[in-house]
Amino acid sequence: MSVTLARRRKNRAPYVLLIPAVAILAIGMGYPLIWQIVTSMQEFGLQQQFGKPAPFVFFDNYIELASRASLWIVVGKSILFCLTTAVVTLAIGTLLALLMNIISKGARITLQISLLLAWSMPVVAAMTVWIWLFDRRRGAINYLLDLIPGVEMNRFNWLESPLTFFIVASIIVIWMSVPFVAFSTYAGLTQVSEEVMEAAQLDGANGWQRFWGIILPMIRPVIAIVFLLQVIWDLRVFTQITMLQDAGSKSSDFDLLGTYIYKLGTKSQDFGMASAVSILVLAITILLSWFYIRSLLKEDEQ
Amino acid sequence: MRARVVKTIWSVVAIFIAIAWVFPVYWMVNSSLLPNVRLQSFIPTFIPFGGSLDNFVNALSDGSFYAALGMSVGITLTVVVFCLLFAFLAAVAISRFRFRGRKSFIIAVLIVQMLPAEGLFIAQYKMVASVGLLDSVIGPSIIYIAAVVPFTVWMLRGFVAGIPADLEEAAMVDGLSRFGAFMRITFPLLAPGLVASGVYAFLQAWNEFTVALVLLPSEANQTLPLWLRGFVQASATRATDWGQVMAASTLVAVPVIIFFLIVQGRLTSGLVSGAVKG
């Protein structure tokens, strides 16, 4: 710290060093963001497809959006999908982290390698495998479920109804996200000191009490951040939904926010509306991120 | 004694979970090695005895693979090189200097890091289209660099800060120039950080789907993820050659898995380090 303070002289060097990063952020993110804010206040209709400039309508798009039932359905579905998926991911991830803590070294390494492999799969490759696994006729999942006595899953089409479609999407997202949660939480658990745990045990605290009284409070900061990140990431699922729609149906019943915006922008060419919904997504994200960003800033100040 | 039994039981449970969790990855490789006759069967083949490489040959004989590979490699290399350069310079600025606007820059970086592509891609499409860069390597590269630089700055900042400036100054006292001191002392110490950041940028650019989908509309200029998706799209209308799709997926996934395993530890701690340490 003292060294950096010694360099607190008037100096142009840091600004010069920042130029490339600032420039690329301004081009790749800043300009599109501003364009989007402006466009979200313009009206795009049939005439604009033939090159007529879009008139400025201020907040009309937002007002119209607010009265669009289809948007609220998508927002509701997205939030439900995102929260359910994030909660289940967090629960499984934490349980696996606790499990890693109490098993033999060999079993732990086996589990960790397995999780790492799942985590490292590129999204698109993972999607093709899962679509193949859930294939109606020759998929391994229907075959295995069919083996259970009394379960008739032969040729069951998972992607036909929105409910099973989103269950499949959720399973895939959970499968891909649990490793991150498990590893982060496990890293947090290893910080819980052995002595404290032994002391608690000597004092007669049972496993349940030790978990609620000692472990949970110690790993709460990690869990909070991991959960926040999951919510933010699950709100914007796009690749998974798009690819499941490729294999199933493209109907709007199967849309979440990402695909909803994509269809507004590409199919209807309604850039005004697409921008307004995008701004909504960005606003929710930044609002949620604020807690995360604040915790990172605290780290920087240390 | 009882504790030991409990530990063994949980270890067995953990191994079952491990098998279940890795199953999709195994299934990808397994299916890619099976001849199509076996995949056509309604009873899945769980172990690829007498595995064949035909599916890989078929996937590779499709000329579009090489075009997509070229596109992906071009974009990924551009992103890694420029991202490392830009992020490194910025990391030096924020970890070695205290200056006006430093905090604003950090906050901006952290906010940008959280912005979802899904909230900006329509605007990015319009911007790239307006300068005629759709279907080019440059379009997605610009967006990816901007998307990856924030996390990279954040990660490198820790590495730069971890190298004592005294060390550099001592070298300067010994007669090296500032630049020389930097290159001889700081740079080698930074290498692990640069590797981790570079791999991170590689993974992001190589796997990215959403932005590529809008910025690369023509089939001749797809990246590998888009190329892979083409197989699934086709499956809606005709019988899918799943063996070939799985071979293609394996080809795309293998480099990612290898690189990911190298840097995984650093990435996790980068994302939640504040919370773990706190």
List, for residues A152-191, the tens digit of each pLDDT value.
887 889 999 999 999 999 999 999 999 999 999 998 888 8
For chain B, state the CA radius of gyration: 24
The answer on pLDDT for A8 being more than 90 is no
pLDDT at B278: 30
Confirm or reject contact between A8 and chain B (CB < 8 A). Answer: yes
Same domain, A132 and A271: yes
pTM over 0.90: no
A205, part of any domain: yes
Give the CATH number for residue A277: 1.10.3720.10
Q: How far is CA A203 from CA A196, A200, B220, B244, in A?
A: 11, 5, 69, 61
The answer on pLDDT for A255 being more than 60 is yes
- Topology classification of domain B62-277: MetI-like fold (1.10.3720)
CA end-to-end span of chain B, whole Å?
37
Interface test with A, best of B43, B83, B88, B97 (most A CBs within 10 A): B97
List, for residues A67-106, the tens digit of each pLDDT value.
888 899 999 999 999 999 999 999 999 999 999 988 999 9
Question: Is A121 close to B108, i.e. CB distance below 8 A?
Answer: no
**ipTM entry:** 0.86
Question: Is B123 close to A131, i.e. CB distance below 8 A?
Answer: no
Question: Is A5 close to B225, i.e. CB distance below 8 A?
Answer: no
Same domain, A154 and A92: yes
Same domain, A12 and A126: no
A61, part of any domain: no
Same domain, A29 and A75: no
Same domain, A8 and A116: no
The answer on pLDDT for B29 being more than 70 is yes
A168, part of any domain: yes
A166, part of any domain: yes
Confirm or reject contact between B234 and chain A (CB < 8 A). Answer: no
DSSP conformation class of B120? T
Burial class for B194, CB neighbours closer than 10 Å (0-12, 13-18, 19+): middle
Same domain, A163 and A272: yes
Specify the number of domains making up chain A.
Answer: 2
Nearest chain A residue to B242 by CA: give it: A132
Question: Is A33 close to B120, i.e. CB distance below 8 A?
Answer: yes
Q: How far off is chain B from A103, nearest CA to CA, in Å?
A: 5
**3-class state of residue A56 by DSSP:** strand
For chain A, state the CA radius of gyration: 24
Same domain, A204 and A106: yes
A253, part of any domain: yes
A41, part of any domain: no
Same domain, A19 and A87: no
Chain A partners within 8 Å of B43 (Cβ): 143
- A1 lies in which domain range? 1-33
Same domain, A4 and A121: no
Confirm or reject contact between A74 and chain B (CB < 8 A). Answer: no
Same domain, A273 and A179: yes
Question: Is B112 close to A246, i.e. CB distance below 8 A?
Answer: no
- The residue behind tokens 């060294």 is A3
| Pairwise CA distance, residues B227 & B244, whole Å | 13
Q: What are phi and psi of B177, to 5 degrees?
A: -75, 165
